[in-house]
Copies of this chain bind each other. A is one copy, B any other.
Amino acid sequence: MTVTPRVTVWNEFIHERHNEAVTRLYPQGIHTVLADALRAHGLAEVSTATLDEPEHGLSEKRLAATDVLLWWGHKAHAEVPDAVVERVKRRVTEGGMGFAPLHSAHLSKPFLALMGTGCFLKYRVAGETERLWVVDPGHPVAAGIGEMIELAQEEMYGEPFHVPPPDELVFVSWFKGGEVFRSGCGWRRGLGRIFYFRPGHETFPTYHDPRIQRVIANAVRWVAPPQDLATPVRGPREPLEPLA
């Protein structure tokens, strides 16, 4: 395994600068809180990137130096150019970069491109109780969590979540208002791994929660590529055995 994966926390960083309630919760942005949390969990090489940087913080060079990319976006999905989306997708599927879309990143363009489905769902912002139940207690992403995480106030996301069947399902959420949701889902896509983690609406203090931070640190380690990854050989081939 990569001993020290190089992590980039990407954030569109809009709500935090234009919505006072969000500014109070995340004055330096969600990405900063997440980066600090990952460092506190022993991930030594963590940096951040935002939509308003050159090439949206996602240049070829930057991606080539990233082993795990976290993604938070909501209002500005459409502002990420298709060329950047294709770059991220290739870096995952052909380069083995791990990808961890968070909360409303279910509609981010890279996630849509990697899933091949609409990724839509039901939703309600009512500040209701969410319980994230661990359905796979042996899974590395659930390590240290116990049986569930209760959040006093979150946005509701409801099934059907229009994604391919997860290769690994770790969390299922219960919502006070009556719905359920597959909240922690892993997929393998080409050389790379993807982990979607549901909670994290910007008007709630979710990313300050130490259990949520633990899950995200676990997820980073789980999606990080192994060392000695081979580049898949493709194209025309000579036979290895006589054909006659």
Chain B residues with Cβ below 8 Å from A113 are 116
Is A124 engaged at the interface, CB distance under 8 Å to the other chain? yes
27 contacts between A and B (CB under 8 A): A93-B116, A93-B118, A94-B118, A96-B138, A122-B233, A124-B238, A131-B179, A133-B158, A135-B180, A136-B160, A137-B160, A138-B188, A138-B193, A138-B229, A139-B226, A140-B226, A143-B226, A143-B227, A145-B230, A147-B232, A158-B237, A162-B190, A162-B232, A165-B169, A172-B182, A174-B178, A177-B239
A169 to B93, CA, bound (A): 17
In the bound assembly, the distance between CA atoms of A232 and B192 in angstroms comes to 29
**A:2-60 near B, CB below 8 Å:** none
Chain A positions within 8 Å of B, measured between CB atoms, are 1, 89-90, 93-94, 96, 113-118, 120-124, 126-128, 131, 133-140, 142-147, 156, 158-162, 164-165, 167-169, 172-180, 182, 187-193, 221, 225-241, 243
- Residues of B contacting A158 with CB < 8 Å? 133, 237
Given contacts A147-B232, A177-B241, 10 further A-B contacts (CB under 8 A): A1-B221, A122-B233, A124-B236, A126-B239, A133-B159, A137-B160, A138-B188, A147-B230, A178-B239, A179-B237
Please judge, given known A-B contacts A239-B178, A243-B177, whether A162 and B124 are in contact too, CB under 8 Å: no
Query: How many copies of the polypeptide does the oligomer hold?
Result: 4
Give the complex CA separation of A227 and B89 in angstroms: 31
- If the complex has contacts A162-B234, A235-B123, are A115 and B116 also in contact, measured as CB distance less than 8 A? yes
Q: Give the residues in chain B near A133, CB-CB below 8 Å.
A: 158-160, 179-180
Complex contact B177–A120 (CB within 8 A): no
What residues on B are CB-neighbors of A189 within 8 Å?
A: 116-117, 164
CB distance from A3 to the nearest CB of B (A): 11
Closest Cβ neighbor of A140 among chain B residues = B226
How far is A159 from B165 in the complex, measured between Cα atoms in Å? Answer: 19
Q: Give which listed residue, B118, B137, B176, contacts A230 with CB less than 8 A.
A: B137
Q: Is A174 within 8 A of B180, CB to CB?
A: yes
Establish whether residues B243 and A142, one from each chain, have CB atoms under 8 Å apart when the complex forms: no
> Which residues of B sit under 8 angstroms from A159, Cβ to Cβ?
133-135, 172
Known: A93-B117, A96-B138. A128 touches B162 (CB 8 A): no
